[in-house]
Amino acid sequence: MVRHVRGSFEEVTSVTRAAVFTGLVLAAAAFLLDGVLLPRSVPFISVAVAIVLMLASRFLVRSYRSRRASQGRPGERVIVFGAGLAGRRLVHNILHDDQSELVPVAFVDDDRRKRRLKVEGVSVLGTLHELPAVAERTGATHLVVAVPLADGDLLRQVREVAEQADLHVKVLPPLTDWLTASDPRGSDLRDLDLEDLLGRRAVQLDQDALREHLTGKVVLVTGAGGSIGSELCRQIAAFAPARLILLDRDESALHAAQLSLSGRALLEGEDLVLANIRDEQTIRAHLAELRPDIVFHAAALKHLSLLERYPCEAWKTNVLGTRNVLQAAAEAGVGTFVNISTDKAASPTSVLGYSKRMAERLTAHYARTQPGRYVSVRFGNVLGSRGSVIPTFTEQIRQGGPVTVTHPDVERYFMLIPEACQLVLQAGAIGRDGQVMVLDMGTPVRIVDVARELIALSGKQVDIHYTGLRTGEKLTEVLFADGETHVETAHPLMTAVDVPDLSPDDLPAPHTTSDSHTRAAFVDHGSAAGRS
């Protein structure tokens, strides 16, 4: 007899098959004995009785075991939000795990059809809005969100209701984190964090297109030690490129990136390149030797306020450095070049924005004049990247505050680093020559709301101080410049735009000693939007 962990259609089928087989044997015996010792009606009655008794005995045993597993068991009493597949598997595994410190006492689910559902003796007692009453009735102390695809809006709503019920919220990791491993368990649960509240969006990728684009290719990533560059390397490695070459000027960053990729950080091998993209001859020599099929250009200076003070540095790295990599890639016969840009390049008002706008325009020029495919990818802030507000706020909260915000109404687009990099890879696979692929960043989030969320998650009382907008900062970033025509792409989270190209020959001579001349050059060459 096949054993089943939980009641299922297959279990009923197995029981029925066994009973019918037994009934057929008895029927054959009754027929052979011509009904003398065994009446011919008995086999058919016995089949029905056997099915009922076998299912009833299984139900009673399972109910007894489930009740014994949950009653009198020490641990934190938890309510599970979500009585779907993930929630049911989680409850089963918790109840059958002797080491678990959690005791499921109820489900809540907004699907009214599940109102009378009972899983392993744990009942659905209401909806999310009825959570405070369910918590009071059950004496629960924790709420577990068992909705792996829950987005930020839903999780913020869950947290608000849980606070009313005085419940501590824990969440399951995203579905992709446990689907290929094992069913979710109590040990998989973790506290709610800012990435859950602001991000956690499911991204559907064209895996076939990515495999065709990356597998077996020589791929080079500049700025490979940075937040975006290192995550790009980790995701590219999953598609089995022939070679993955990490280029960065920061040896410590290369060390960390290699460690995250291989678990070893001996800084050996030919796939680590220590070089500065400002050094034109060195970059050309390296790419001529390595001859990559694909280049992801993530190296850049990105601190807005610092670049306002030192615009020459932005010119050297973001403009001339990008030109150096583009020229070296063209000479090496690169098939695809992907320039990582920023939303600050749309209608720029800062040195950072102007410099990245010029990088987009330079990329468009190489698309027009060189074989191969040259595209840019434009997106906003990524949560947790180096230099973002999240690490800054976290450290300020750790020190007891205050948390500094420039303006109460300033807002920015946010995206998770893995999500951004997944879409960068997709854009590299489907972007057309010369286009700027603009990622859908969702809804802008007020920075002060981010600060408040982090303070609330910390459990501390910390003040917020407003410092005023800095030179070049906007209240709200935009993803598209005025006059840019939006073109739909094959991916729902991407829109393409065209930018006017900029020839390297039209770049003014570098003004390494005059910030005022450099700033003027930025405004002149970096402000072009829809004009050709």
- Residue 11's nearest CA partner among 21, 23, 3, 19 is 3
Task: Report whether 232 contacts 296 (CB < 8 A).
Answer: yes
Cα gap 333→433, rounded to integer Å: 15
> Going by DSSP bridges, is the β-strand pair 414-416/403-405 parallel, antiparallel, or unpaired?
unpaired
Token pair recorded at residue 161: 């209701």
Tell me which residue of 327, 296, 293, 247 sits closest to 426, measured CA to CA: 296
Closest to 353 in 3D by CA, of 304, 317, 387, 310:
304
Catalytic residue among 344, 356, 460, 474: 344
CA-based angle 213:215:220, to the nearest 5?
80
User: How far, in Å, CA of 235 to CA of 147, rounded?
Assistant: 25
Measured distance CA(106)–CA(125) in Å, rounded = 6
Query: What DSSP letter does each residue of 300-347 carry, written as one string?
Result: ----HHHHHH-HHHHIIIIIIIHHHHHHHHHHTT-SEEEEE--GGGSS
User: What gap in Å lies between CA 16 and CA 82, rounded to an integer?
Assistant: 32
What string of DSSP letters covers 399-423?
TT-PEEES-TT-EE-EEEHHHHHHH
Q: Nearest-CA neighbor of 292 among 334, 342, 250? A: 334
316 classed as catalytic = no
Answer for the pair 260, 230: CB distance below 8 angstroms, yes or no. yes
Distance of CA 445 to the CA centre of its chain: 17
**CA 467, CA 456: separation in Å to the nearest integer?**
21
β-pair partners for 245: 220
**Cβ atoms of 244 and 221 closer than 8 Å:** yes
- 8 A C-beta contact, residue 232 and residue 425: yes
Looking at the annotation, which residues are catalytic?
Answer: 344
